[in-house]
A and B are shown apart, each in its own frame.
Chain A
């Protein structure tokens, strides 16, 4: 379950970064991609919460929060690696 939760959060946070290309110095996206990414950013956390709650309310919320933190680090590291490679 944890890898799935991390993947969902990574998807959400990656889309969050991609939707702000100027801030994160990422390439601009076309309007169609922006809509899809906006959807993923909105739906993925809710989906992750639904998956996490299968382990019980308390454990589920703890899993949801902790996987968010780990996924955030992964996305930040990926953006750094990408921008270093690019520049």
Chain B
């Protein structure tokens, strides 16, 4: 009996911690989780956003195409672009000559059968979601650091939530009472999503933190503080680029054999040698094992395979987080778990507001918080769907097209944030929720129609891909429609 007050105090304190850390971090974490969930299918979204590529999956590159691609890489390098060659895979059937533009890997797409350049519309594709997920798009090292700190906040909120709910954790594991009060139903939904998807949430948060741990715990601090003696030294002359005189096919066959039968993922063309790396899809350990060949003759230089325990642990952490090894079925499970984790955080935001509406609903801070919550939960899907609509609506030859798509995304999202905050500010937040839900419903349900109208040929060439993305958009539109109907039917709580 003596332990009761102490336990209650702990639970109360954990309740405070869970609510405030969860809400403050949750506003951004919802966006990070949602874009991370979309990034599970980043390659597929990029293919959807480039309907000009109609290469059947499983097309293996011909010798001519490989050699043409190698020559094109060298040509770009001679112009000062640090390009590399990405080989076709089960998910992306085209040959790609990519370089990093400060945000994503972008570049030319080649037909793996002929090596001819495919004229595609300029788009960042699904890589935009990937970039936003880990750096908040353009945040650089600071953005990555913020995401990492927020992920730590997520782990704190999960830990506190676990302590609060510990007694009912196992017995209530599949509890969902929609017939009770609204707050009870939201609490059950939050607990259901939070508990069922907790293993996945914790795994992704933990591995995500470790992937970029150096941004919050720099291991080479002395490098930053040491005097810059070398900075005054004259820059070294870049080594001359040696031509690629050899054919690619035998090198790929050798590399594959040396990598234990694993598929090859990409080829780096260094000035005096080329390096063929194992595909990220070849297993859960995301390694950078590679085979080096000298240039111009293509003589085998050696194989680099990492097998040290710490390195292997980090490879596993990277592999689990990026999920590039996952076949389509497991990829869908990742996607659904990501949605579940996002729903868990988003429902927590709604609960936070519901619990405080009666006592603090009149306060300016509360209204701002509700406006931001509207922008996060409903405004973000509006922005994402606008991004996909912009891909079909903007002219294909528009200069700076990829930037325009991103501008549409941020502009729409900012407009939603202003709209939500405005209605919340004049004490009519439900109108903000409803109007933005209408936007999600219209944009989501309209996307399959737009896709079929604009890119029928691509839809015929890859029906499964288009059905998947259009179907998900329509599904979200219908969920928004259902939520809208529920909001109209029920009194404001």
With A and B bound together, what is the CA distance between A2 and B199 in angstroms?
18
Q: What are 30 A-B pairs at a CB distance below 8 A?
A: A2-B329, A2-B333, A13-B173, A13-B174, A23-B172, A23-B175, A24-B175, A58-B319, A58-B320, A59-B284, A59-B325, A62-B320, A63-B333, A65-B199, A65-B200, A65-B203, A66-B334, A66-B336, A67-B333, A68-B199, A69-B199, A69-B336, A69-B340, A75-B174, A76-B192, A79-B176, A80-B176, A80-B177, A80-B178, A87-B179
Chain A residues lying within 8 Å of B337, measured Cβ to Cβ, are 66, 69-70
Determine if B409 is an interface residue (Cβ-Cβ < 8 Å): no
With A and B bound together, what is the CA distance between A80 and B171 in angstroms?
16
Chain B residues lying within 8 Å of A58, measured Cβ to Cβ, are 284, 316, 319-320
Contact with A along B283-322 (1 / 0, CB 8 A): 0100000000000000000000000000000001001100
Chain B residues lying within 8 Å of A75, measured Cβ to Cβ, are 174
Determine if B17 is an interface residue (Cβ-Cβ < 8 Å): no
Across the interface, B176 reaches (CB within 8 A) one of A20, A59, A62, A76, namely A76
Chain B residues lying within 8 Å of A62, measured Cβ to Cβ, are 320, 330, 333
Contact with B along A8-28 (1 / 0, CB 8 A): 000001001100100110000
Chain A residues lying within 8 Å of B340, measured Cβ to Cβ, are 69, 73
Chain B residues lying within 8 Å of A73, measured Cβ to Cβ, are 192, 196, 340
With A and B bound together, what is the CA distance between A68 and B176 in angstroms?
16
With A and B bound together, what is the CA distance between A69 and B203 in angstroms?
13
Contact with A along B169-207 (1 / 0, CB 8 A): 001111111110000000000001001110110010000
Known: A16-B173, A65-B200, A68-B196. 5 other contacts (CB 8 A): A58-B284, A66-B334, A67-B333, A69-B336, A70-B337
Contact check, B174 vs A79: say whether CB atoms are below 8 A apart.
yes
Identify the B interface with A (CB < 8 A). 171-179, 192, 195-197, 199-200, 203, 284, 316, 319-320, 325, 329-330, 333-334, 336-337, 340
> A residues 1-47 with Cβ under 8 Å of B?
2, 13, 16-17, 20, 23-24
A2-B329, A69-B196, A84-B179 known; A56+B284 contact, CB < 8 A:
yes
Identify the A interface with B (CB < 8 A). 2, 13, 16-17, 20, 23-24, 56, 58-59, 62-63, 65-70, 72-73, 75-77, 79-80, 83-84, 87
Secondary structure dominating the interface of B? helix
CB distance from A47 to the nearest CB of B (A): 19
Contact check, A72 vs B196: say whether CB atoms are below 8 A apart.
yes
CB distance from A4 to the nearest CB of B (A): 12
Contact check, B174 vs A16: say whether CB atoms are below 8 A apart.
yes
With A and B bound together, what is the CA distance between A60 and B329 in angstroms?
13
Residue of A63, A70, A75 with highest tally of chain B CB at under 10 A = A70
With A and B bound together, what is the CA distance between A33 and B334 in angstroms?
35
With A and B bound together, what is the CA distance between A72 and B172 in angstroms?
11
With A and B bound together, what is the CA distance between A75 and B173 in angstroms?
10
Chain A residues lying within 8 Å of B330, measured Cβ to Cβ, are 2, 59, 62-63, 66
Chain B residues lying within 8 Å of A66, measured Cβ to Cβ, are 200, 330, 333-334, 336-337
Q: Which residue of the partner chain B has the closest CB to A84?
A: B179
Chain A residues lying within 8 Å of B203, measured Cβ to Cβ, are 65
